[in-house]
Chain A
Amino acid sequence: MELSAAFLLAIRALARNKLRSSLTMLGIIIGVGAVIAVVGIGQGAAAKAQEQLAALGANMLFVGSGSVNRYGLNVGSGQTKSLILGDARAIARECPSVSRAAPGTGTGQQVVYGNQNWATQINGTEPQYFEVRNWPFASGTSFGEDDVSQAATVAVLGDTVRKYLFGSSNPIGATIRIGTLPFKVVGVLAPKGTSPGSGQDQDDVIFAPLTTVQKKLLGQDWIRWIMVSAVSRDASYIAQRQIESLLRDRHKIRPGDPDDFVVRNLADVADAAAEQGSVMTILLTIVASIALLVGGIGIMNIMLVSVTERTREIGLRLAVGATEEDVRKQFLIEAMFLGLIGGGFGIAFGIVSSLVVSRALEWPILIPPYVVVVAPLFAIAIGTIFGFYPAKKASELNPIEALRYE
C-alpha cells in the first residue's frame, strides 16, 4: 500500500474514536510534557545557580581564621587571632595562581541617618575587595588606598542599607553615624541579591577601610578573613593549595598538626551545586521517562484493543490481498501517530509549564532546542515500539479465522 494511503487510513481510524485516541495520547502528552518541563526547569535552575555563583565573585577563595576539625566543621572561625595583614600581603605576593587578595574584618553595629536606624554588618577591607568580588558600584566610588592608610571614616553602602537609610534620596556625600562615629558615604554598591549558599542578603552590609574598622570600631589589629581571587577558575584549586602551604609555613605549623585557618574554594561550592542540580535533573528525568513509558503502555493497550475489535476488518484486508507487511504498517502508523500527536501537544504542555514555573521562581527560561526535537522523536519511537507487538499480532492473524470472528 502507498504510504500516503496508509497515513490517511491511520488518521481516519484514530478520528473514528476521538475520545479514546485523545485519552491514549494524554499519557504521551504528560510524559513528553514532563520531560520538557523537567529539562527546561532544571536548566533554568542551573543557569540561575551559575548566575548567583558568578555574582559571589570571580574565581573566588575565602580564607578564614580558625581551624577545621577532622569532621570538616569550623571551630571558632573568625574568633582566633591567627590571620594578620601580613598573611594577606604574602598571599598576593607569593602565590602565583592568585591575582588579588583583600584582607578584612567585621562587626555588627547600629547605623543611624537622620531619624532612620538600622542594624547591619560593618566590614573593614581594602579597595581591591570590590574587584575580587566582582561587585560594581551603583553610584560614587570605593574608598581609596589613602583612606585605608589614614583610617578615614568613609563608607560604602550595600543596596539594602541604602534603601533603609536613604529611601529615594541620594546618599553620596551624606554623613551617617556608625556606633558613635560619623562616616561620610562615598559609594553605593549595585544590588547582589541573596547568597546562593546561605540565603543571606549580601546587600545588607556597609564597607569601610580596614584600618578604620580595626582601630576605631574594634580596637584589634588582626584580620578575620581574606578574600582571594585566583587567576582563573581552573587555577582556583592550585591557588587553594598554594595558600594552604604558604600559611602553614608562615604560621609555623608542623606536619601532622591541623591548620589554624580555613580555605574555602567557591569553585567547590559551584561544583557541589551543579552536581546537586544534575542529580535532581537525573531523578526528575527518570520520573518523566516513567511517565512516558506509561504513556507507551497506554498506546500498546489501546492498539491491542483496536486489533481485537477490528479482527474481521483485518481478515478482510488479508483476503483481498493485503500482505502481512501492509497490515503491520497500518497499525504501526496508527501507533506512531498517537505518539506523534501526543508528542506535539506534549511539547506545548511542557513549554507552557516550564514558562509558568520559571516565571514564578524568577529563573531564566531555558529549553534547549534538542529537547524539543528529541522528546517527540522519542514519543514516536515509543509509539512505534509499543505499537509493534499489536501490529505484529494483527499481521499474523489467520484470515479465515479473522473473517469468522464475532
Chain B
Amino acid sequence: MAISNPTIVRSAAKSSSTAPLIEVHGVRKTYQLGETEVHALRGVSVSIAAGDFVAIMGASGSGKSTFMNILGCLDKPTAGQYLLEGIDVSGLTKKDLARIRNQKIGFVFQSFNLLGRTTALENTELPMLYSRVSKKERESRAREALALVGLADRAEHFPAQLSGGQQQRVAIARALANQPSLLLADEPTGNLDSRTAVEIMDIFQRLNAKGLTIVLVTHEPDIAQFAKREIVFRDGHIKRDDVLPSPQVASDVLKTLPTIED
C-alpha cells in the first residue's frame, strides 16, 4: 500500500522535546456503583515521550480502557494528575477538552464507529467539521489522509461497501485528519483477521516513524510486538513497563503471511 504524503503527520520535533508528551502521576479512577466502589485505576504513574509507540496489555477489567479514556480527555481521573504537552488537563473546561480531543488527539476504536450512509471521505472529514477548516481544505486534507492509509480510490465508498480492514483504515484516516500529536487506539485489531491486523500495524508503524505518538491497547501479544514499549496493567496498576529492544517490522511480517486467497 502506498503511504505517500509526508506532511499530514505532525513532526515530533514540533512539540516540546524536553517535556514528555504525556505525564501521568498517581491517577486513580473510582466508579460508584450504588453502594459499592469499583476501583478501575488505583494509582497509575507513567510518562510517554513524543514519538513513542506504546502497547498496553492486561487482563480484561484491568483498567486499560479506563486509562485510555483519561488519556483521550474523554474522562477525568478521580485523583492524580494528567499533563498533556505539559498542560494540566484537570483544570480545563468541557469546551477546552473538546478542543483538545479535536486538535491533539485521534481515536481509533475496536468497532470502527464510522457513520453509515456517509462516504469514507465525509467520515474522514468529521473532526474538521468541528474545527475551522474551509470546505475545500476539509476535502483535500481528508483525501490526503485517505491516501495515507491506502484508500485514495475508496473515498466515495460507504462503510457498508468496505471490508473491516478498510473500514478501520478509514477510521485511522479520520483520526489523522486534524493532524493530532497523539493517536489512541483501543483494541483496533480486535475485530480483524490476523493478516489485516498486521496491515493496520504496518500503517501505525509508518505513522510512528514520521513522529506520531501512538498508544494502543491490545489483547494479542503478536500485535504488541510491533510497538516500541509494552505496558502491562493488572487490577488498576501498572504491573510491567518494558521497552522492546527490537520491535517486529510489520511490512516484513506481511511478506511472510499468506494472503487470504492462498
- Residues of chain A whose beta carbon lies under 8 Å from any beta carbon of chain B: 1-2, 5, 16, 312-313, 315-326, 399-400, 403
Contact = CB atoms under 8 A, between A and B. Distances in A.
A326 B98 CA distance: 10
B72 interface: yes
Interface in B41-57: none
Interface string B92-110: 0011001101110001010
Closest 8 CB pairs of A and B: A321-B102, A320-B127, A323-B98, A321-B130, A321-B101, A316-B113, A322-B130, A399-B74
Contact of B69 (A5, A316, A321, A400): A400
Interface residues of B, number: 24
Contact of A320 (B94, B95, B117, B130): B130
A326 B99 CA distance: 12
Given A1-B129, A312-B113, A403-B113, A320 B74 contact: no
B115 A321 contact: no
A319 B94 contact: no
B75 interface: yes
Contact of A321 (B75, B103, B109): B103
A326 B178 CA distance: 17
A196 to B, nearest CB: 61
Contacts of B174: 320
A319 B75 contact: no
B126 interface: yes
Contacts of A318: 74, 98, 101
Contacts of B109: 403
Nearest to A313: B115
Q: What does DSSP make chain A's interface, helix, strand, loop or mixed?
A: helix
Interface string B105-146: 001010001010100000000110111000100000000000
A73 B101 CA distance: 83
A313 to B, nearest CB: 6
Contacts of B107: 319-320
Contact of B117 (A1, A5, A16, A322): A16
Given A1-B129, A1-B130, A5-B129, A320 B115 contact: no
Contact of B98 (A316, A321, A403): A321
A312 B110 CA distance: 13
Contacts of A5: 129, 135
Contacts of A322: 98, 102, 129-130
Given A16-B117, A313-B115, A316-B113, A321 B94 contact: no
A5 to B, nearest CB: 6
Contacts of A312: 113
A322 B126 CA distance: 9
Contacts of B103: 321
A2 B99 CA distance: 15
A5 B69 CA distance: 28
Contacts of B117: 16
10 contacts: A1-B130, A317-B130, A319-B107, A320-B102, A320-B174, A321-B98, A321-B101, A324-B94, A324-B95, A400-B69
A319 B130 CA distance: 11
A132 to B, nearest CB: 74
A320 B69 contact: no
Nearest to A318: B98
Interface string B228-244: 00000000000000000
Nearest to B101: A321
B115 A316 contact: yes
A319 B101 contact: yes
